Structure 1
Amino acid sequence: MKTAYHRKKQPEAVRQLLLGVAAGLCIEKGAAGVTLDAVAAAAGVSKGGLLHHFPSKAALLDGLLDDLMSRLDAAIHQAMIEDPEPRGRFTRAYLRVCFVLGGMAEEERWKAMTMALLGEPHLRQRWRRWVEDQSLLHAGTDSSIDCELVRFAADGLWLASLLESHPLDPGRELDLMHRLVELTRS
């Protein structure tokens, strides 16, 4: 009992654990299966500990989306830094992050979030706002119809990957990637 009081607290590690468990439950049981009780039990955390980080199911799902969007923003930003050509830079970065040969980073969490987005209107609204903000932010360099087409194609390829509905061999993936990158430059 005494050791519990001396245990080093790691709030970010607990928060990430809770988000990971919530994502796993969402994949396994759908968004309806993500209950506070189920997440706390699966994470081995008290319900009070869960409520300290996420006071409601909506806050937990918002936390998962925030975490993923933050990672997505950072990955896109890094890919943009590495691309010297301004025209279509955001679209190429979006493509490289979302249509990654061999699978997207955080793919399991994105799979869970996609399921949650389908069932939670407030999450869809937040995602729509992110997409709109990116369109406005990069309107000067990425507003061509080809760039828009590439982003839609990236979304379709991403969804097909998450759903495992259209398996592609690596050579075909690479051909698709090259063709889409070419479109960002036309």
Structure 2
Amino acid sequence: MATKTEILDAALVALRQGEILTLDSVAAHAGLTKPGIVHHFKTKGALTVAVVERLMDLWELDLNARVDDEADARARLRAYVEFAFTSDLDPSDLALLSDARLRDKLNELWIDRLRPWFGEDITADPVELASIRAARLLADGAWFDRALGTVDFSESDRFAILTIALELTEGTTRS
């Protein structure tokens, strides 16, 4: 019998392969029957929420590995920027968009879990805050693009853009 974590990882495999997240697709990847999935996740909605939570767990493992326990908001933002530009991302990383009926719930869950990494707690003058937000938006765009694979940047181009994004987080007011 597969564990919940194994089922959720099977769901991520289905999403990576471009499949729609369904009880049947997850069952096939987990080597279970549909009733075997329903035993753990009573509805597709419950499965979808659990998949997004699993994805966030994996993201947080990676993000936490990039900072120490005493990291401030700026260090966490820098970790998120680096994560977005350097981690292996694929269509499964867009799981929060997988069910339009759950959009509000998944969005709220996503924001609650990842807010500490977005630099929202940084206090600075308006110009510096704009730079910090620009770095966040660059990271969000990199994350979204890399998960979709829509733009094929060279490693040097991606590194150059990452460098610019990290410079925006440094806390020096630009004139």
| TM-score range normalised by the length of the shorter chain | 0.7 to 0.9
RMSD across aligned positions (CA): 3.0
Q: TM-score, normalised by structure 2?
A: 0.76
- 8 Å CA contact 1:80–1:89 kept in 2: the answer is yes
Q: What residue number does 2:76 align with? A: 90
Residues 184/117 of structure 1: CA separation in 2 closer, same or farther (3 Å cut): farther
Q: Show the 5 A alignment for 1:107-146.
A: 107-111=90-94, 113-116=95-98, 120-121=102-103, 122-132=105-115, 134=117, 139-140=121-122, 144-146=129-131
Mean Cα displacement is larger for which, 146-155 or 35-44?
35-44
TM superposition outliers: structure 1 runs of 4+ over 4 Å = 84-87, 131-136
Deviation at 1:120, TM superposition (A): 3.2
Whether 1:78 and 2:61 are equivalent positions in the alignment is no
CA separation in 1, counterparts of 2:99 and 2:83? 19
Which structure 2 residues correspond to residues 1-186 of structure 1 after superposition, within 5 A? Answer: 11=3, 15-26=4-15, 27-30=17-20, 34-81=21-68, 86=72, 88-100=74-86, 104-105=87-88, 107-111=90-94, 113-116=95-98, 120-121=102-103, 122-132=105-115, 134=117, 139-140=121-122, 144-185=129-170, 186=172
Pick the structure with greater CA Rg: 1
**Alpha-carbon spacing, 1:86–1:66, altered in 2? closer, same or farther (3 Å):** closer
In 2, Cα distance between equivalents of 1:96 and 1:25: 26
* 5+ long unaligned stretches in structure 1: 1-8
What fraction of aligned residue pairs are identical, expressed as a percent? Answer: 22
Q: Flag the structure with higher helix content.
A: 1
